[in-house]
Amino acid sequence: MQSPLASKKFDCRIRHAGTLFCAALFVFILSYAVSAQERGDLYPRALGFQLRQIVESSADEVHPLREVCTTLLDSLNAIIVHLEYSPEQPCSEFQRLEESVKTLGEFRKSWTAEGSIEEPYIPSAIALEEILLAVQRRINTWQALLNTVVAEASPITTLYEKSFADIDRLKERTIAVEQYFTRARRTADYKAGLTWCDYFETKSWLTEIEACRQPGTQPVRLVSFTTPDIPVEFLKTFSDRANATVYRLESPTLTNEQRVFLNHPTVNVWKEELQSWTADTVSPINVLRLLEQYEATGGMTDMKALSRFIDQLTISKTAEYRQLGDHIQRQYGMANVKVFLSGALLNNHLPSTGSEIASFRDVIQSQPTVGRRQTETEMEVTLIPHPTRVLTSLDVSVDLAMISRSDAFATQLFNTGRALIVAHKTIELTEKGFLTAPCKAEIVDHRMRLVRMDTDFDAVPVLSGLFRGVVLNQYESRARDAKMEARRKMLWQVRNQVDREIETRLRPINERIKMLSQYADEEFGLQVEQREDSRTDDNWLLTTWGVRSKGALASNTHAPDTPNGSFADVKIHESLPNMLLGKLEFEGKRGTVAEFKQMLAEKFKQPGLTRPEENDHVDVMFAPYNPVVVRFVDGRVELTISIAALRLLGKTHRNFQVIVRYKPAYDSEGRLVLERDGYISLINVREQFIMRTAFGKIFPVSRPFPLVPKVFESDAQYDYLTTGHCRIEKGWLALAIVEKPKTVEE
């Protein structure tokens, strides 16, 4: 029989065991919930929310859509489960999903119900189009993902056996390759060798190797059989670099001559060493999780993470991984700025032309000639249709009427002439500015007529007739050559004048473009490139631009259509403002409102932002994750600010969000503006009244953002233009330039 003390100890052990069991069960449940949440990250939350809104709506108009949206939700869920657990098996849900997309597309064509965000929810035609685009993006991306399942990827664990001896060997062979490229010093081949070094980034390789060899980078640990001697971060960096370098060594764009140059024992040994470092450091399924996270938030933090993983996929060792990376890069790297200009707008702002009378002095056929001429000039811009270039032709018509006098020995000849000259100068818009071709000109019509002849012998009866006859014969014999010389000089003068005037007018514009490009690069690290879908048709210049920075993405949807009757249309995707905000590096940054206003004023060259206001002293610390995000959605510009801490009235408020929405409207003077829409939304805030009052002063209703350029009000030549047809949809903000409506007095 146990003693009471032993029994008590036994009960205690039972209780401890029960506690441990409960703790273990809790940890298991928690880990399962976390893993389930991670698996759920593949679910398209934003798309699912839109579909559920339609399914749960009680509006009669939505009744025809409920069934197809329910099918879409079921198919999406089934495909996600398939991707998570059995991607190697064929999936029939894709066919069902595509059939649902076709059905929804038919609804989109015939959908006439007016959208409403109120209860019960009614989707607009634009909302249905956004759903269609989102589903189609998933179909394309998921099918590209399934191609990676059958691929035999090289895991990063193959690098864990690497040692510092391997690092030294890699360094030695990299130095040998660099010496091979630059062996011919003081020759033209030396510059070519430096270009090869830059192409393969040998300097960066050696810098990374030296950083890895620094004593501070080596991990300090007691016993470890799974962690390599080299820090894992360096292993991943070396692997990504090796993938990129091997990809360049095997690039299909290399010429035969370049391949022969690279087919050298030193380069081959280096390539063999690099191949031992190649591995796939990114899981495609994780890239898709990041993609869904970015789709849901649109923030720069998620954009950077996704862009980095896409870049790693595009240089992967496995071809199927590279194809997936290229697919996502194309899908999320479309143009994010589009500017459409009509030929009518260009012709409305041509330099003024008219009639000009001037004296001239010249030498024709060695004979001094003086006179007066009247020049009438007409100009017109003609668009040159082209599928990939932005081309125009400035057509100049010059009508010359001349009266001239030429002096020869004892003779004065009086002529009248008329010439019609047509000149054409091609102008192309590129990412570097306006490029021009030399002016081409031709004479359409040219007439010269001798109207009078005076000689010093006109008073001598017999001699006068003989002398005039000789002079007339000489004039007629030289008339053809004189006319040809006059034609050459007129053509030269017209071509020279058109070239000079156009270059003079375009030079400040090109300098402005260059200055803006340098400013974007220096201040924000943005690069501007013209996209291949830029084109010219009979009536429009359609220019599309990719404005991107390192670690950023661009648009993933097509821009809104341009309304009829517009002179121009400017379209900006939300990725651009988020890119600019990301470059401000607000993540975790702390300061007063006045300090942040000063920073914005300096960065964007807007001194008006620094005017004193009531809450300038408020101390703010932004959240470390997506601190400021701009979305163009549902006809609104939505600004979300995530704040880690804010000190106001002696109290600190932590971890909350502020959402401010703006909508297009017209002010009291009829100008288009973005005004605040409704109340400011505060999430995870207890003192709603105090905080709403504070942010109401930072984002007041009385301070809308004007959407009419100042030049339209300050320059008389733009007096007939204004902005209108503001469209905020599919992640785009589009603003048309239209004719100003006439007042009753007009």
Least confident of 106-120, 130-144, 661-675: 106-120
The yes-or-no verdict on residue 13 having pLDDT over 60 is no
Tell me: do 358 and 505 sit in the same domain: yes
- Residue 728, Cβ density class (10 Å: 0-12 exposed, 13-18 middle, ≥19 buried): buried
The mean pLDDT value for 168-181 works out to: 92
Which pLDDT belongs to residue 350? 84
Residue 510 CB neighbours (<10 A): 15
Domain boundary among 517, 538, 555: 517
Q: 3-class DSSP state for residue 548? A: strand
| 743 pLDDT tier (thresholds 50, 70, 90) | low
Tell me: do 497 and 585 sit in the same domain: no
Domain boundary among 517, 536, 560: 517
Per the structure block, which two tokens stand in for 63?
Answer: 């009744």
Tell me: do 4 and 50 sit in the same domain: no
- pLDDT more than 70, % of the chain: 90
Contact in structure between 499 and 520 (CB atoms under 8 Å)? no
Pairing of strands 721-729, 540-549: unpaired
Query: How many residues are recorded in the chain?
Result: 746
Nearest to 562 by CA among 335, 339, 718: 339
The yes-or-no verdict on residue 37 having pLDDT over 50 is no
Number of domains into which the chain is organized? 4
Tell me: do 446 and 581 sit in the same domain: no
Each residue's pLDDT tens digit, 357-382? 888 888 887 788 888 988 898 999 99
- State in Å, rounded, how far the first CA of the chain is from the last one: 113
Give me the numbers of helices (H) and strands (E) for the chain, helices first please. 20, 21
Tell me: do 3 and 34 sit in the same domain: yes
Contact in structure between 319 and 280 (CB atoms under 8 Å)? no
Instruction: Measure CA 491 to chain center.
Output: 43
Tell me: do 57 and 19 sit in the same domain: no
Which pLDDT belongs to residue 688? 87
The CATH number that applies at residue 452 is: 3.15.10
DSSP symbol at 59? -
Tell me: do 63 and 10 sit in the same domain: no
Quick check: bond before 706 cis, omega within 30?
no
Is position 685 within any domain?
yes
The yes-or-no verdict on residue 1 having pLDDT over 70 is no
The mean pLDDT value for 114-124 works out to: 86
Which pLDDT belongs to residue 5? 37
Is position 333 within any domain?
no
Report how far residue 238's alpha carbon sits from residue 247's, in angstroms, rounded to the nearest whole number.
14
Residue type, 505: R
Which pLDDT belongs to residue 369? 85
The yes-or-no verdict on residue 462 having pLDDT over 70 is no
Is position 270 within any domain?
no
Is position 256 within any domain?
no
Higher pLDDT, 478 or 59: 59
557 to 123, 584, 732: CA distances (angstroms): 19, 26, 8
Q: 3-class DSSP state for residue 108? A: helix
Is position 168 within any domain?
no
Tell me: do 606 and 707 sit in the same domain: yes
Is position 727 within any domain?
yes
Domain boundary among 131, 149, 167: 149
CB within 8 Å of 304: residues ≥ 6 apart = 551, 552, 582
Tell me: do 434 and 470 sit in the same domain: yes
Is position 285 within any domain?
no
Contact in structure between 177 and 194 (CB atoms under 8 Å)? no
Contact in structure between 84 and 149 (CB atoms under 8 Å)? no
Contact in structure between 267 and 339 (CB atoms under 8 Å)? no
Is position 550 within any domain?
no
Each residue's pLDDT tens digit, 188-242? 678 888 889 999 999 999 998 888 877 655 544 433 445 557 788 888 889 999 9
Each residue's pLDDT tens digit, 576-604? 999 999 989 999 999 998 999 899 888 88
Tell me: do 35 and 55 sit in the same domain: no
Tell me: do 35 and 49 sit in the same domain: no
Q: Which domain holds residue 630?
A: 574-739
DSSP symbol at 727? E
Higher pLDDT, 161 or 708: 708
Tell me: do 664 and 583 sit in the same domain: yes
Contact in structure between 197 and 182 (CB atoms under 8 Å)? yes
Q: 3-class DSSP state for residue 656? A: strand
